[in-house]
Amino acid sequence: MKLKNRVAIVTGSAEGIGKAIAVAFASEGAKVVIADINFDKARKTANEIGDSAFPVKVDVTKWDQVTNMIKKSVETFGRVDILVNNAGIVRKGWVKDLPEEVWDEVITTNLKGTFLCSKAVLSEMIKNNYGRIITISSIAGKQGEAAGSAYCSSKFGQIGFTQALALEVAKNNIIVNAICPGPIPTALGEYGIREDAKLRGQDPDEFRDWFISRTPFGVQGKPEQVAKMAVFVASDDCDFCTGSAFNCSGGIIMH
């Protein structure tokens, strides 16, 4: 068991990649907080996992809700060892047409949410002289994508944030890394493909095939594949890596 007795908060873990991470953490012996804006789904996911999971409603863009998430996690499981900043949204649009509110929505959810959750958990981790903060960025955090300016900016920003925070808290034995998944067929992944296709006047299946053809493996990834990498990054096996942005992308990005 790679995470025996560790306590992890996974934001956006009601479904998709976050859910797969929560399931994998629990199977490695961790207690997991299923923290999501969609409480009904979070509760369902926590029930599926069992006694080692606890659901919390949180909007990661709201400081009071984020501090409440940390408080409830400590009350329930005694402490917090691991934070996974996974909650995220995608919106598509050409820059010349992109409404300011859409830009703000994406940057606030993905980037500010990562900042708020990390800021809120730090005092607990510093007190314990132990912590792992893992942020789920994207291949869009390493390579620009047309019609993805807000999403790419948020995902590049998460990598910059990861590096800056890693430098600040290494002395506190807190390790901070990012994971950059490639295309994964979740609600977010499929929404992004539909929007991309619509903007280009293409059929979604045609756009998906083109996107997938760029990966050397020629297939989409699975949430469980990202989860396996998250287990490694959260575990004590990953004790000499900080400020890294690990690709889990089927080779679509190699830097």
Ligand X SMILES: NC(=O)c1ccc[n+]([C@@H]2O[C@H](COP(=O)([O-])OP(=O)(O)OC[C@H]3O[C@@H](n4cnc5c(N)ncnc54)[C@H](O)[C@@H]3O)[C@@H](O)[C@H]2O)c1
Question: Which positions are annotated as active-site residues?
Answer: 151
Q: Per-residue contact track with ligand X, 142 to 161, x per CB under 6 A?
A: --------------------
CA-to-CA distance for 52 and 7, rounded, in angstroms? Answer: 9
Near ligand X by CB under 6 A: residue from 23, 56, 87, 252: 87
Near ligand X by CB under 6 A: residue from 22, 32, 83, 89: 89
Q: What is the tally of helices (H) and strands (E) in the chain?
A: 9, 7
186 near ligand X, judged by CB under 6 A: yes
Q: Which of 66, 170, 165, 76 is nearest to 121 (CA)?
A: 66
Near ligand X by CB under 6 A: residue from 184, 197, 227, 234: 184
Nearer of residues 138 and 162 to ligand X, judged by Cβ? 138
CA-to-CA distance for 150 and 91, rounded, in angstroms? Answer: 7
Q: Per-residue contact track with ligand X, 190 to 229, x per CB under 6 A?
A: ----------------------------------------
Stretch near ligand X under the rule CB under 6 A, chosen from 16-24, 25-33, 71-79, 236-244: 16-24
118 near ligand X, judged by CB under 6 A: no
CA-to-CA distance for 214 and 209, rounded, in angstroms? Answer: 9
Which DSSP string corresponds to 218-235? -S---HHHHHHHHHHHHS
CA-to-CA distance for 129 and 24, rounded, in angstroms? Answer: 25
Q: Which of 140, 133, 141 is nearest to 162 (CA)?
A: 133
Q: Least CB distance from residue 196 to ligand X, whole Å?
A: 11
Under the rule (CB under 6 A), what is the footprint of ligand X? 11-12, 14-18, 36-38, 58-61, 86-89, 109, 113, 136, 138, 181, 183-184, 186-189
